[in-house]
């Protein structure tokens, strides 16, 4: 459990958050009056069936989308546009294929107007953090899926992000790589003490990583369950096989199945 004093500082607050898209027959109601808050340093997992609006919720937090109604506040201020201290990891690694690993990680600094010379040390640290030493000059086409996501994580963190948004980052990886990456992410999150929001549709991923899990209903998504994960940290792989884990998993399972 995370018991540092800042734990109770609120970083993000959503109040009656709703999103509607123009749909095939009129309107498509995607998010329906979500109200929740995220504490400083918390690892929040958002769990829900596909198509329920998880990515939409993340885009709202990223400032890439404005809510149709309701409000979403970051440190007390409405999110109207992408904020400088937010890092995003997309579902597919979303790297620029013409840039090497080094250049992809450097991109946020380049956009911020920092020269490659000034960035060398910072990029080197990030490459070390995600364990990609020796691949600096590799092009994305020569990376495995897991390595590509490492680059994406490094790119999301290099601007000293204090809010990390991850949209099913490991969804396209094979099971073993996925488990490995989950623990990499835990290690990185612990090292940086940042707030993380992870969208996933894997129950075990949510329990292994998160302090708290929001379960969304099918579209239009509402919060069905807001579950604290009171499992000790640092967490180990064998946590999966404990009764506490099984209990949480069955609770989540029931909640999800109830609504389908």
Partner 1 sequence: MDLTFPGKVARKSLRRLRRQEIVVIPLSILLFVFLWEMIHRFSGLPAFILPGPQQVWLRFWGAVLDGSLLRHTWVTLAEVLIGLFLGALIASALGYLLAKSPTIERWLSPYIVASQAIPIVAIAPLLVIWLPTGLYSKILICALIVFFPILINTLIGLRSVPDDLRDLMRSLRANRWQTFRLLEVPAALPVLFGGLRIGAALAVIGAVVGEFVGADRGLGFLINVGRGQFDTSLVFVAVFSLIFMALALYGVVILLELRFLRWQKRNDQTDLLVEKR
Ligand X SMILES: Nc1ncnc2c1ncn2[C@@H]1O[C@H](COP(=O)(O)OP(=O)(O)O)[C@@H](O)[C@H]1O
Q: Which of 76, 134, 141, 243 is in the footprint of partner 1 by CB under 8 A?
A: 141
Contact flag: residue 55 with ligand X (CB under 6 A): yes
Q: Which of 17, 45, 47, 52 is in the footprint of ligand X by CB under 6 A?
A: 52
Contact flag: residue 84 with ligand X (CB under 6 A): no
Q: How far is the CB of 239 from partner 1 (least distance, A)?
A: 32
Contact flag: residue 53 with ligand X (CB under 6 A): yes
Contact flag: residue 28 with ligand X (CB under 6 A): yes
- Give the residue with the Cβ less far from ligand X, 21 or 247: 21
DSSP result, 75-117? TTEE--S--TTEEEE-SS----TTS-HHHHHHHHHHHTT--HH
Q: Tell me whether residue 250 is exposed, middle or buried, using C-beta atoms within 10 angstroms of its C-beta: 0 to 12, 13 to 18, 19 or more.
A: exposed
Distance CA 97, CA 94 (A): 9
Contact flag: residue 54 with ligand X (CB under 6 A): yes
Q: How far is the CB of 77 from partner 1 (least distance, A)?
A: 16
Handedness of CA 128, 39, 200, 24 (dihedral sign): negative
- Give the residue with the Cβ less far from partner 1, 160 or 236: 160
How would you classify the pairing of strands 195-200 and 163-167?
parallel
- Give the residue with the Cβ less far from Mg ion, 194 or 221: 221
Distance CA 60, CA 144 (A): 30
Distance CA 118, CA 125 (A): 13
Contact flag: residue 255 with partner 1 (CB under 8 A): no
Q: How many CA atoms lie within 13 A of 66 on its CB side?
A: 5
Contact flag: residue 242 with ligand X (CB under 6 A): no
Scanning 68-76, 79-87, 143-151, 183-191 for contacts with partner 1 by CB under 8 A, the matching segment is 79-87
Q: Which does 82 bind (CB under 5 to 8 A by kind): partner 1, Mg ion, ligand X, none?
A: partner 1
Report 99-118 residues binding partner 1 (CB under 8 A). Answer: 99, 107-108, 110-112
Q: Which residue is nearest to ligand X (CB)?
A: 55
Distance CA 218, CA 229 (A): 22
Q: How far is the CB of 120 from ligand X (least distance, A)?
A: 37
Q: Which does 30 bind (CB under 5 to 8 A by kind): ligand X, Mg ion, partner 1, none?
A: ligand X
Q: Are 29 and 219 in contact (CB under 8 A)?
A: yes
Q: Which of 19, 43, 53, 55 is in the footprint of Mg ion by CB under 5 A?
A: 55
Distance CA 223, CA 202 (A): 17
Contact flag: residue 51 with partner 1 (CB under 8 A): no
């Amino acid at each position: 459990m995370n018991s540092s004093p800042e734990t109770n500082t609120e970083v993000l607050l959503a109040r009656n958050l709703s999103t509607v898209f123009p749909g095939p027959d009129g309107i498509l109601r995607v998010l329906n009056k979500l109200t929740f808050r995220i504490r400083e340093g918390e690892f929040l997992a958002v769990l829900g069936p596909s198509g329920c609006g998880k990515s939409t919720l993340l885009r709202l937090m990223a400032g890439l989308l404005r809510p149709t109604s309701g409000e979403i506040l970051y440190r007390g201020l409405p999110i109207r546009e992408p904020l400088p201290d937010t890092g995003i990891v997309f579902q597919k690694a979303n790297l620029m294929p013409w840039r090497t690993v080094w250049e992809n990680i450097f991109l946020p600094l380049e956009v911020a107007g920092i020269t490659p010379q000034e960035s060398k040390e910072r990029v080197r640290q990030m490459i070390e953090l995600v364990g990609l030493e020796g691949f600096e000059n590799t092009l994305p086409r020569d990376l495995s899926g897991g390595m590509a996501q490492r680059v994406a994580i490094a790119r999301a963190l290099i601007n000293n992000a204090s809010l990390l948004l991850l949209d099913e980052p490991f969804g396209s990886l094979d099971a073993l790589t996925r488990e490995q990456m989950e623990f990499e992410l835990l290690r990185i999150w612990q090292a940086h003490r940042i707030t993380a929001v992870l969208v996933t549709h894997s129950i075990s991923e949510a329990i292994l990583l998160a302090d708290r899990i929001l379960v969304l209903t099918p579209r239009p998504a509402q919060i069905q369950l807001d579950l604290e994960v009171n499992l000790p940290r640092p967490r180990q792989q064998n946590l999966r096989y404990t009764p506490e884990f099984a209990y949480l998993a069955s609770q989540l399972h029931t909640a999800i199945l109830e609504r389908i």
